[in-house]
Chain A
Amino acid sequence: MGARGVGAVITVNNLTVSYRQHPALHHISGQFAAGSLTAVIGPNGSGKSTLLKCIMGLVKPSGGCIQVQAARRRIAFLPQRSEMDRSFPMLVQDVVLLGAWGAVGAWGGVDPSWLARAQAAIQAVGLQGFEARPVGTLSSGQFQRVLFARLILQDADLILLDEPFAALDSRTTASLLTLIHQWHAQGRTVVAVLHDDAQVHAHFDQTLLLARELVAWGPTVQVLTEAHLQRARLLAEAWDDQAELCHADDSQAGAA
């Protein structure tokens, strides 16, 4: 299992991503260790989702780079929920089986072993009996569990979750957190964008605090301090159209 071991799975090197010249991420550097369990937190608009999309290669950096050591096909990504159409005429089992896409592709056969794995995944998220239900009939919490079952089927070494618990009740959240701990115990690397500081404290040993700039990155107890959170809040949310151009890259290039 290639990436499961020691060393860095993701190396972020002086990463800048900007939309219309305004940085969403500004000169971020650091590493996600193999097998680590990291929460990404920060105020709205602090670049959390952008960071995940950038790791996936869905957004191009405007400066710096991200190196991902895991084999590309062993990465799973759960985007924010709002991007999907839940009225689509599709059965729960079929959605879960989409997790096999990376392995079987558009034409590969889905043999009974895949069906068994899908069944096991559906059971693991507590949705047995829902296999033949159209996804349109599910509640939002149940649907999120279906997506987690799909993640199980993807069997990835690196799992990126963007606000996986938004609008979920505490019981569903607890059961999905258990699942994340299992992944962690299996040596998978998990990165999750979260909002609940208490939850981060209780369940994630590493934390990355963003406010477009990197505020702090390390063990959760050292990151989640009042001083750090205060600094994150101070970094303005609004863009300043008069802001000067950033020359950090130039000066570095000059020094090198």
Chain B
Amino acid sequence: MNESSAVWDLLIGPFAEFAFMRRALVSTLALAVSAAPLGVFLTLRRMSLLGDALTHAVLPGVALGFMLFGLSLPAMALGGVVSGLLVAAIAGVVSRATALKEDASLAAMYLLALAVGVTMISRQGSQLDLLHILFGSALGVDEQGLLLVAGVASVSVLTLAVFYRGFVLETFDPSFLAAAAVSKGSRPWVWQQLFLMLVVINLVAGFQTLGTLMAVGLMMLPAVSARLWHESLPAQLFNASVQAAIAGVAGLLLSYHLDTPSGPTIIGCAGVLYLLSLLVSPGGWLPQILKRPHRVA
């Protein structure tokens, strides 16, 4: 056996041989392209934990879909999107109408949603089903799931591109946007709700391929590491997607060869990239230890 065929077996073979590996690869890459840039925006808003909160918010809808239609992807996905959007919208309304800040009202709402979701699941399904919903499996993506992920990724990337300027302004200087919006008679919160909607649909797409908890990982981990590398936003967005894609491919291969669960392995790979970034990136630890000579001006 020569070297090239060994490399083939290691890196290409699994995908060439098995359709389920190809579907897992495509859906993971699609998510990498769409979810990771959203994660960068979330870190910039200092809302890195929002994804986590929203995964819980998604749960009652997923549970309801599951109770009514069993393990049906469209039902669970639709339910998840609706309940996620509902929680985000109610939290937004509460924070605008009362003295509570966005994060506080969101925390209250997602905890309520989580309680409802867990109650519904424990009344209906067995423990195994709960595990399936929470930890999903990239290797179990079917044709339908692939279409969902690809559709969400397309919508999400296009929306991000079309509304990019507004998203950046709303993240960077919301009070400027609010002042300008009052001047123009438009509504500044539309930007925020639209952005949250993108986050929710990406999380729901992710829960099918990687499981809800892992979906947040692919959104946030590469985003956090990407921020260490660049000082410009487009570069950070691109970097996050690339890191997520690398983690996706490496994680799938590792989980195939080592027979480990795909979702956690992918997130583990993203974690390794994060550790590397912490060490060697311009904003990381080593450049601060190695005192490079400074310029005169």
Footprint of B on A, CB under 8 Å? 56-58, 72-77, 79, 83-85, 88-91, 95, 98, 101-102, 105-107, 134, 136-137
Q: Chain A contacts of B171 at CB under 8 A?
A: 88
Q: Does B158 contact A (CB under 8 A)?
A: no
The answer to whether A58 touches B232 (Cβ under 8 A) is no
Within 8 A of A (CB), among B161-204: 162-163, 165-166, 168-169, 171-173, 175-180, 182-185
Cross-interface CB contact of B182 among A58, A91, A106, cutoff 8 Å: A58
Question: With A and B bound together, what is the CA distance between A88 and B176 in angstroms?
Answer: 15
Q: Mostly helix, strand, loop or mixed at chain A's interface?
A: mixed
Of B162, B173, B185, most buried by chain A (CB within 10 Å of CB) is B173
Interface status of B231 (Cβ within 8 A of chain A): yes
Contacts of B177 in A (CB 8 A): 101
Output the least CB separation between A105 and chain B (Å). 8
**B residues near A102, Cβ cutoff 8 Å:** 180, 183-184
Q: Does B114 contact A (CB under 8 A)?
A: no
Q: Using a CB–CB distance below 8 Å, which chain B residues touch chain A?
A: 44, 46, 162-163, 165-166, 168-169, 171-173, 175-180, 182-185, 227, 230-233, 236
Selected contact of A89 from candidates B163, B175, B176, B232, CB within 8 Å: B232
Among B165, B231, B236, the residue within 8 A (CB) of A136 is: B231
A90–B233 alpha-carbon span in the complex (Å): 7
* Given A58-B182, A89-B233, 13 other A-B residues pairs in contact with their CB atoms under 8 A: A72-B183, A77-B179, A79-B179, A83-B175, A85-B46, A88-B233, A89-B231, A90-B233, A98-B169, A98-B172, A101-B180, A106-B163, A137-B231
- Given A106-B165, A136-B231: A58 in contact with B178 (beta carbons within 8 A): yes
Which 9 pairs show the lowest CB-CB distances between chains A and B?
A: A57-B182, A72-B183, A106-B166, A134-B231, A77-B179, A73-B183, A89-B233, A79-B175, A88-B172
Contact of A72 among B44, B168, B175, B182 (CB under 8 A): B182
Cβ 8 A contact of B185, one of A72, A76, A91: A72
Considering the chains assembled together, what is the distance between the CA atoms of A1 and B199 in angstroms? 43
Smallest beta-carbon distance A21→chain B, Å: 13
Complex contacts, A95 vs chain B, CB 8 Å: 172
> Which residues of A sit under 8 angstroms from B227, Cβ to Cβ?
89
* Contact sample, A vs B, 9 pairs, CB 8 Å cutoff: A56-B182, A72-B185, A73-B183, A77-B176, A79-B179, A89-B230, A90-B233, A101-B177, A102-B180
Distance between Cα atoms of A137 and B232 in the complex (Å)? 12
Chain A nearest CB from B272 CB (Å) reads 24
Decide: B172 and A90 in contact? CB cutoff 8 A. Answer: yes
Question: Nearest chain-A residue to B191 (Cβ)?
Answer: A106
CB-CB under 8 A from A57, the residues of chain B are: 182
Query: Do the beta carbons of B236 and A89 come within 8 Å of each other?
Result: yes
- Contact A56/B179 with A72-B184, A84-B173, A89-B233 known, Cβ cut-off 8 Å: yes
**B residues near A106, Cβ cutoff 8 Å:** 163, 165-166
CB distance from A156 to the nearest CB of B (A): 9
The one of A58, A89, A91 in contact with B179, judged by C-beta atoms closer than 8 angstroms, is: A58
| Chain B residues with CB below 8 A from A85, complex form | 44, 46, 172
Residues on the B chain within 8 Å of A76, using CB: 179
A106 to B233, alpha carbons, bound, how many Å?
A: 17
Query: How far in angstroms is the closest Cβ of chain B from A217?
Result: 24
**Inter-chain contacts of A56 with B (CB < 8 A):** 179, 182
A155 CB → nearest B CB, Å: 13
Which residue of A has the minimal Cβ distance to B167?
A106
CA distance A137 to B180 in the complex (A): 26
CB distance from A114 to the nearest CB of B (A): 13
For B166, the chain A residues whose CB sits under 8 A away are 106
Residue of B165, B168, B236 with most partner-chain A CB within 10 A: B165
Q: Contacts of A58 on B, CB cut-off 8 Å?
A: 175, 178-179, 182
Contacts of A101 in B (CB 8 A): 169, 176-177, 180
Complex CA distance for A101 and B179, rounded to whole angstroms = 11
- What residues on A are CB-neighbors of B232 within 8 Å? 89-91, 134
How distant is the Cα of A59 from the Cα of B44 in the complex, in angstroms? Answer: 26
**Contact indicator A107/B44 (Cβ below 8 Å):** no
Chain A positions within 8 Å of B163 at CB level: 106
